[in-house]
Structure 1
Amino acid sequence: MEKIELGTTGVQVSQLGLGCMQMGTATDEATSFRMLDAFADAGGDFLDTANCYMWWGGPQYQGGESEQLLAKWLSRNGNRNRAFVATKVAGLPVNVPELHAAQEAGDDPWPHVRFEGAGADTVRRGIDGSLKRLGVDHVDLFYVHVDDRATPLEETLAALDEIVVAGKARFIGWSNVRTWRLDRVRALAAQNGWAAPVAVQQRYSYLHQHPGTDHTSSAGEEMLSYLRDHRDTSLVAYSPILANLYDSADPEKHRFWPLYGNAKALEAVHTVAKEVGATGNQVALAWLLQRRDPRAFALMGPRTWEQFETIVPAIDLRLSDEQVRHLNDSA
């Protein structure tokens, strides 16, 4: 598995990361350990979790279950030394019981979420809680999960810098953020000598989001252009296969089709997939791993062992220059 540099830190991390969101809830411990072991044995070390994973898995969950499961795996046979661990703060709702009640009533809980924010005290409590649940003395990367526009950036950045100086996190990152906000974060960090984000985690895939449907969580052309000029911040792409859209039996009914649907581009993916004997998801992931400007990390988040097995072949899948051009011209 290829490793590439995280920002300009000099630290090499597996370009393919393992999203651990569902581990400890939708994915049981035995299956989680099997995937973690296989990922590490293949040379992968980038593990991604968050303090909120995965409160929406059921009324018995409060968030932090993924971190607690990872603690068990990390403590086995020196696994901590094999892992680059990323976790997050600011994405945990403060009203989880209310959201569970909405779920049980058949209502969509997400419109009712009230996030914890990224105030200094929340950030400090967040890292301490994550370290305790993970059973480690530091994490490698600590993200602001949901950009908090109500809290002064100076307050958040100063608290994050404290965490880095204290050795509780090696690096910081930001997620679900607009390009102009990321630029402001970087500028304030530079002005004050604070730790600056070395990673920005956004949804990104081969299919482009339609104009007019831009979301804070997506990496559009503006952000890609920004990252080309600021290579000290790496793109970490989540949902790179858009919840299996590329292999959907009826893509136009897929939940992401209104945002990403492009029949011509999807046909190009399927054409290349036939040529190389792969699935559409594998081709989309291989395309992302092979892109160079800017290079990106990709997070896969399988729920089952079978899903894990179908994603892993993309690691060794190499598309020809002609195939990449065909995909780019069709997007």
Structure 2
Amino acid sequence: MEMIELGRTGTQVSKLALGAMQMGGVTSEADSIRILDRYREAGGAFLDTADCYEWWRHVGSRGGESEELLGRWLRAGNHRDQVFLATKGSAVPAYSPDLWDADGNPDWELARKTFEGAGADTLRHALDGSLRRLGTDHVDLYYVHVDDLGTPLEETLEALSGLVTAGKVRYLGWSNVRTWRLERIRQLCERHGWVAPVALQQQHSYLRPKAGNTSASIVGAEQQDYLATHPDLQLVAYSPILKGIYDDPAKRSGHWMMDNYEGPDVDARLAVLAEVAAELGTTPNRTVLAWLLHQNDPSVIPLIGPRTVEQFEDLIPAVDVKLDASQLARLDAAGA
């Protein structure tokens, strides 16, 4: 697997990252270990998790299952020095029995209203909990998981900078955040001498958000332009294949993931995607990942989160899919 510089840090990471959100939850421990082992065998070394994963899977959970599983895997195989390890804080909701209904389904509206946020003490305690579960004295990348508009940025940034100074974190990142906030964050860091974020984790795929989309979590045209002119801020793209909808027309019909994309632009891009995938003798899902891996303005690190070993094995060949200039141009130009 190819390596790529993370922003302008000088640190090399694998060009395809592996998300562990479902590990310790819907994905069994045995299958999780197999996926992690296969990823390392393929040359992968960029692992991503969060302290909230996956509280919503079990009534009464406070999250941390994914970090605990990764900690066991890291210790068992002495893998810690072989991987670039990222985790996140700020998105654990305040505990309430109302977070789940009688059937065990999570109440996401309530959760979003009660995220613990990015206060200084909250982040310090959250990171210490993550380090304990992961069984390490530091993480390589620490994200603010959900941008917290209720806490002064100065408080958050000073605390995060202190975590780097203390040696508990090497680099900082932000996720689910609007472009104007990124610029404000960067200005404050420059003004006060605080450590600035080097990574932005957002939802990003081949389909473009529909007109009128208001999500702070999806890369739009403005944010893409911002990233292209600030190459020191690395884009890490989560949900790059949108839950696998590219391979299955029946699956994407009515799928909630399509709510932010539906429109005439989708049909036009899917048609060209299918043509190019057929030319390459591969799947649309892999072709999307390959297209993202070819991007350099801005550069993109796709973050896959396979639920099963079979899904991982289906996606990993994407690292060897090569798109020529003509195919890239057609994919880029496609649209209503």
Residue identity matched to 2:259? P
Q: 1:276 aligns with which of 280, 285, 296?
A: 280
Quick one: distance in 1 between partners of 2:85 and 2:97? 29
Match of 1:135 in 2: 135
**C-alpha displacement of 1:254:** 2.2
Q: Is the 8 A contact 2:17 2:48 kept in 1?
A: yes
**C-alpha displacement of 1:128:** 0.4
Residue identity matched to 2:142? F
Residue identity matched to 1:258? D
Q: 2:320 aligns with which of 297, 309, 316?
A: 316
Quick one: distance in 2 between partners of 1:54 and 1:266? 32
Match of 2:259 in 1: 258
Q: Is the 8 A contact 1:26 1:303 kept in 2?
A: yes
Q: Which runs of 5+ in 1 are unaligned?
A: none
Q: Is the 8 A contact 2:68 2:134 kept in 1?
A: yes
- What SS does the aligned partner of 2:167 have? coil
- What SS does the aligned partner of 1:285 have? helix
Q: Is the 8 A contact 2:143 2:173 kept in 1?
A: yes
- What SS does the aligned partner of 1:211 have? coil
Quick one: distance in 1 between partners of 2:96 and 2:75? 29
Quick one: distance in 2 between partners of 1:224 and 1:118? 25
Match of 1:160 in 2: 160
- What SS does the aligned partner of 1:236 have? strand
Quick one: distance in 2 between partners of 1:112 and 1:128? 26
Match of 1:110 in 2: 108
**C-alpha displacement of 1:18:** 0.2
Residue identity matched to 2:61? Y
Q: Is the 8 A contact 1:55 1:96 kept in 2?
A: no
**C-alpha displacement of 1:17:** 0.3
Quick one: distance in 1 between partners of 2:91 and 2:104? 23
Q: Is the 8 A contact 1:87 1:143 kept in 2?
A: yes
Q: Which runs of 5+ in 2 are unaligned?
A: none
Match of 1:328 in 2: 332
Aligned residues: 329
Quick one: distance in 1 between partners of 2:182 and 2:334? 30
Q: Is the 8 A contact 1:248 1:254 kept in 2?
A: no
Give the % identical residues.
52
**Aligned in 2, Cα 1:117/1:323: closer, same or farther, shift over 3 Å?**
same
- What SS does the aligned partner of 2:201 have? strand
- What SS does the aligned partner of 1:253 have? coil
Residue identity matched to 2:261? Y
- Equivalent residues in 2 for 1:77-226 (5 A)? 77-95=77-95, 97-100=97-100, 102=101, 104-105=102-103, 109-113=107-111, 114-226=114-226
**C-alpha displacement of 1:108:** 5.6
Quick one: distance in 1 between partners of 2:157 and 2:136? 23
- What SS does the aligned partner of 1:162 have? helix
